[in-house]
A and B are shown apart, each in its own frame.
Chain A
Amino acid sequence: MSSDTATITKAAPAAGTTTAPRTGTTRRRRRPFGPRAGLVALAVVLSAVSIFPVLWMITSSFKTRTTVTDGKLIPTDLTWSNFAYVFTEVPFVRWLFNSFITAAVVTAVALLFHSMAAYALARLKFPGRDGIFVVIFSTLLITAPVILIPLFVVVRTLGMLDSYAALIIPPLFNAFGIFLLRQFYLGIPKELEEAAIVDGCGYWRVYWNIILPLSRPILSALSVFFFLANWNAFAWPLVATNGADLTVIQVGIASFSTQYGANWNYVLAAAVVAVIPMLALFLVFQRQMVESIKTSGLK
């Protein structure tokens, strides 16, 4: 517990008085090729590098079985057959549906649970708070492979194997969200809720009417993260379910590569289709994700 952040907050405006040597001119006029143009160029170049493998994936998904790995970026022979195959020959829509249900339910329920827990850990005072936080935090250090078999046994003992419950319930509980939200809630100005509590609002109302609306940006980011994590889940669904009805998208895609060689063209086509919903989700949420908290909106 240090109080230096607070002092810095106060001191920051004054920081300028300990003058940074002024460089350049005091002109405020934007130069046409100033640092901004440089930043734009940088952003463009970095984006291109970041996105290149994805472009390669998209173009390769239009190649045939025999040319898919020829290393060319532009396919010599375009074909839609990989996509046609994916939607006609395998129960791809069913896989998408299973993944969607799993990811959506996990995201919604986990966000509620995690934000509740994070609110208590960040905003309420009770004995043993730090101890409980440390315990919750330490569950982050426990990794799936270490507990895969015992987890399987627990889930089986609870009679949840081979059901949506097996796909949904265990992934709900992950300290990542609690930890991130707690870090975030620590930064929300206290005055907001203290006023409400003095007014006699209960804790639930404070949480529901003040904290949750305030955390919209971070909840948006988390919902994208959670949805993605569950959309791309492979190891647990593979172990926890049998049979075609509960196959999720990643396990389905895995079935395109066999013991005797892989059909990379189908894998890539399926992967392209699987990414589209995620991209849509990201585009929908990104505005909220990056918007600042508007404290002024609070009466």
Chain B
Amino acid sequence: MYSQRREHTMLQHGNEAVVPAAPTRRRFLGAAAAGAAAAATPLLTGCGGPAKADGGTLKFWYFYDAHSPDPSDRARAKWFQDVVKDWNADHEVKVELYYVPGDSYQGSKMVTAFASEAGPDIFLLSPGDFLRYQNGGILADLTPHMEKGVIEDYGSSLDSRMVDGKVYALPMEVEPLAMYYNVPVWEKAGLSEADIPVTWDEMLDVGDKLRAKAGAGLVFQTDPGYYQNFTWYPWMWQGGGDVVDENGKAGFDSRAARQALSLWQDAVQAGIAPRTMPAADDLLTSFTSGLAGMWQSGIWEISGFRTSAPKHKYGVFKLPVPPGGKYTTVLGGWSFCASTQGRNPEIAAEFCAWALGGMNDESVNRTVDWCTSSKSDIAPRASALERAAKKGGYDFWAMKKFKEEIFPGGRAEPRYPPVVYKAVSDAIQATMLGGKGVAGETDRAARSIEAFMQSYEGASLI
């Protein structure tokens, strides 16, 4: 009794005062509330908030704070403000930015708003949530608004945002994961650049040496969540394993998955990796306070160091590989989306495509600026990456390393729906922190994923 159905009908949103009788229709909840609470109030649908006279302004929810303590965060907010300013200068339908605090962005606020049709018209989406939104019929098709050649320009970084050849989200950035190491601790342990690990075993050995000098030798994410799964997938991929194979069949029960689970389990049980995140999950403070030696994290840390601890020495290296394995990392990153529920989905989609999906200089430069001046990321479009490199955006040693060594061979963050996410998450948690047997947990997750796949009817998982 659990299948996610796609909505095939695109629903019109006028100001219908007539409440549909059939409970299977949308707005059931609103209708009931209206009937009970306000009786005769005709329901205002489709747009958030009270009916303010805002002449159909599109609401764009984002999570970069214009007042942030972090200058780079302020710069990011400014990038968004500039995009909106440019748009509003020569378009009739205006766009307005609303700031939502980062931690809550995908949580209760967004869900509550969408569930009661008061969601934003334009918003940011992470890959992990893509399928849920797509299957919920909330993402507008951006393809008709995109210029020719843009899809090719994006290349594989668009794959995970497409369904049946149509684009539903435009990535702003690509964020690969790598290993960061803390140079002062590294030196205290008598290690040098020559000791940078290439295999899993070397990594554990080095971690063991670092442990004596810092509380945590090697840090993997410990808190359960989408992010933990995201950081774990590459370890499985390196051994050739997958949650769902290219034919869309469940294939979690593999040697590769088991050895990836074992890696994290061994690291924790040997005391090399901590059971909770040092410094409440803040890499920067952990490094400057000497609490951690190595830490798996993403390219975004570079700009953190740049603004908050420019003098601190750190290094970056590719994720080590298992015996007989092939180097892989995972690529995250946020994207622009338009809501089909909004007051003007067409224009919202047009806005996304205009901002990021044009072949003109302005559109490409936006991505360049975002990935190299506002943030420290890989640009998702070939043309933008080339242009950014020419401008010197990847001259800094860490950025260069990410662009040339770490990013190639990366694979997009999967877009698995909640049930699959939960099965994998439980396997990671139970083995890593619960001390449960790797084989049993892999088997359990595999069966749960398989059962789900049999009744699943949404868009392809890959």
A residues sitting closer than 8 Å to B (CB atoms) are 65-71, 85, 89-91, 145, 148-150, 152-154, 156-163, 235, 238-239, 242-244, 251, 254-264, 266
Instruction: Check if B300 sits within 8 Å of A260, measured CB to CB.
Output: yes
Instruction: Check if B67 sits within 8 Å of A69, measured CB to CB.
Output: no
At the interface with chain A, which of B41-49, B132-140, B155-163, B392-400? B41-49
Q: Mark B61-85, 1 if CB is under 8 A from A, else 0.
A: 0011101111001000000000000
Q: Which of A68, A258, A262 gathers the greatest number of chain B CB atoms within 10 Å?
A: A258
Instruction: Check if B33 sits within 8 Å of A260, measured CB to CB.
Output: no
Instruction: Check if B304 sits within 8 Å of A262, measured CB to CB.
Output: no
Q: A70-B289, A161-B49, A254-B101 are in contact. List 9 more A-B contacts (CB 8 A).
A: A66-B288, A153-B116, A157-B33, A157-B34, A157-B38, A158-B38, A255-B67, A262-B282, A264-B282
The residue from B68, B111, B280 contacting A69, defined by CB atoms under 8 A apart: B280
Give min CB distance, A216 to chain B, whole Å: 36
At the interface with chain A, which of B102-110, B186-194, B247-255, B257-265? B102-110
Q: A156-B116, A244-B99 are in contact. Are A258 and B33 (CB under 8 A)?
A: no
| CB-defined contacts of B378 to chain A, threshold 8 Å | none
B112 on interface, CB distance cutoff 8 Å: yes
B284 on interface, CB distance cutoff 8 Å: yes
| CB-defined contacts of B41 to chain A, threshold 8 Å | 157-159
Q: What are 27 residue pairs bridging A and B, where the CB atoms are less than 8 Å apart in the complex?
A: A65-B285, A66-B288, A69-B278, A69-B279, A69-B282, A71-B291, A149-B29, A153-B30, A153-B116, A154-B33, A156-B116, A158-B41, A159-B41, A161-B50, A162-B49, A162-B50, A239-B108, A243-B98, A251-B101, A255-B101, A255-B102, A257-B101, A258-B70, A260-B304, A261-B283, A261-B301, A264-B285
Instruction: Check if A90 sits within 8 Å of B67, measured CB to CB.
Output: yes
Give min CB distance, B172 to chain A, whole Å: 13
Q: With the chains together, A254 CA to B63 CA distance in Å?
A: 11
Q: With the chains together, A260 CA to B308 CA distance in Å?
A: 13
| CB-defined contacts of A69 to chain B, threshold 8 Å | 278-280, 282, 285-286, 289, 291
The residue from B30, B101, B278, B281 contacting A238, defined by CB atoms under 8 A apart: B101
| CB-defined contacts of B17 to chain A, threshold 8 Å | none
Instruction: Check if B50 sits within 8 Å of A257, measured CB to CB.
Output: no
B37 on interface, CB distance cutoff 8 Å: yes
| CB-defined contacts of A259 to chain B, threshold 8 Å | 63, 102-103, 105
Instruction: Check if B29 sits within 8 Å of A150, measured CB to CB.
Output: yes
B212 on interface, CB distance cutoff 8 Å: no
Q: Mark B1-31, 1 if CB is under 8 A from A, else 0.
A: 0000000000000000000000000000110
Instruction: Check if A255 sits within 8 Å of B65, measured CB to CB.
Output: yes
The chain B residue sitting closest to A70, CB to CB, is: B289
The residue from A70, A89, A235, A242 contacting B49, defined by CB atoms under 8 A apart: A242
Give min CB distance, B71 to chain A, whole Å: 10
B218 on interface, CB distance cutoff 8 Å: no
Instruction: Check if A261 sits within 8 Å of B284, measured CB to CB.
Output: yes
Q: Which of B73, B278, B312 gathers the greatest number of chain A CB atoms within 10 Å?
A: B73
Q: With the chains together, A5 CA to B277 CA distance in Å?
A: 53
B115 on interface, CB distance cutoff 8 Å: yes
Q: Mark B308-328, 1 if CB is under 8 A from A, else 0.
A: 110010000000000000000
The chain A residue sitting closest to B27, CB to CB, is: A153
Q: A154-B33, A157-B30 are in contact. Are A65 and B308 (CB under 8 A)?
A: yes
Q: With the chains together, A70 CA to B34 CA distance in Å?
A: 53
| CB-defined contacts of B289 to chain A, threshold 8 Å | 66-67, 69-71
Those 9 A-B pairs whose CB atoms lie nearest each other, nearest first? A69-B279, A66-B288, A70-B289, A258-B102, A255-B101, A254-B101, A259-B102, A69-B285, A90-B67
Give min CB distance, B238 to chain A, whole Å: 25
Give min CB distance, B53 to chain A, whole Å: 13
The residue from B37, B65, B67, B309 contacting A157, defined by CB atoms under 8 A apart: B37
The residue from A67, A150, A158, A257 contacting B103, defined by CB atoms under 8 A apart: A257
B89 on interface, CB distance cutoff 8 Å: no
The chain A residue sitting closest to B304, CB to CB, is: A261
Q: A150-B29, A156-B118 are in contact. Are A263 and B50 (CB under 8 A)?
A: no
Q: With the chains together, A150 CA to B34 CA distance in Å?
A: 11
Instruction: Check if B103 sits within 8 Å of A254, measured CB to CB.
Output: yes
The chain A residue sitting closest to B35, CB to CB, is: A157
Q: Scan residues 288-308 of chain B and give those whose CB is less than 8 A from a CB of chain A.
A: 288-289, 291, 300-301, 304, 308
| CB-defined contacts of B51 to chain A, threshold 8 Å | 159
Instruction: Check if B69 sits within 8 Å of A263, measured CB to CB.
Output: yes
The residue from B33, B285, B286 contacting A153, defined by CB atoms under 8 A apart: B33
Q: With the chains together, A254 CA to B109 CA distance in Å?
A: 13
Instruction: Check if A150 sits within 8 Å of B33, measured CB to CB.
Output: yes
Q: With the chains together, A238 CA to B106 CA distance in Å?
A: 12
Q: With the chains together, A71 CA to B67 CA distance in Å?
A: 28
Q: With the chains together, A161 CA to B51 CA distance in Å?
A: 10
| CB-defined contacts of A255 to chain B, threshold 8 Å | 65, 67-68, 99, 101-102
Q: With the chains together, A150 CA to B283 CA distance in Å?
A: 39
Give min CB distance, B94 to chain A, whole Å: 16
| CB-defined contacts of A238 to chain B, threshold 8 Å | 101, 104, 108-109
Q: With the chains together, A254 CA to B104 CA distance in Å?
A: 8
Instruction: Check if A85 sits within 8 Å of B280, measured CB to CB.
Output: no
Instruction: Check if B98 sits within 8 Å of A66, measured CB to CB.
Output: no
Q: With the chains together, A195 CA to B34 CA distance in Å?
A: 48
Q: Which of A148, A162, A243, A260 gathers the greatest number of chain B CB atoms within 10 Å?
A: A260
Give min CB distance, B178 to chain A, whole Å: 15
| CB-defined contacts of B104 to chain A, threshold 8 Å | 238, 254
The chain B residue sitting closest to A241, CB to CB, is: B49
Q: With the chains together, A85 CA to B70 CA distance in Å?
A: 11
The residue from B34, B43, B285 contacting A67, defined by CB atoms under 8 A apart: B285
Instruction: Check if B50 sits within 8 Å of A156, measured CB to CB.
Output: yes
| CB-defined contacts of A251 to chain B, threshold 8 Å | 101
Instruction: Check if B99 sits within 8 Å of A263, measured CB to CB.
Output: no
Q: Which of A85, A152, A255 gathers the greatest number of chain B CB atoms within 10 Å?
A: A255
Instruction: Check if A68 sits within 8 Å of B285, measured CB to CB.
Output: yes
The residue from B67, B70, B112, B283 contacting A148, defined by CB atoms under 8 A apart: B112
The chain B residue sitting closest to A161, CB to CB, is: B49
Q: A69-B285, A153-B30, A157-B34 are in contact. Are A264 and B280 (CB under 8 A)?
A: yes
| CB-defined contacts of A258 to chain B, threshold 8 Å | 63-65, 68, 70, 73, 102-103
Q: A255-B99, A258-B102, A261-B304 are in contact. Are A66 and B43 (CB under 8 A)?
A: no
Instruction: Check if B69 sits within 8 Å of A266, measured CB to CB.
Output: yes
Q: With the chains together, A157 CA to B29 CA distance in Å?
A: 11
Q: With the chains together, A91 CA to B278 CA distance in Å?
A: 31
Instruction: Check if B69 sits within 8 Å of A257, measured CB to CB.
Output: no
| CB-defined contacts of B312 to chain A, threshold 8 Å | 66
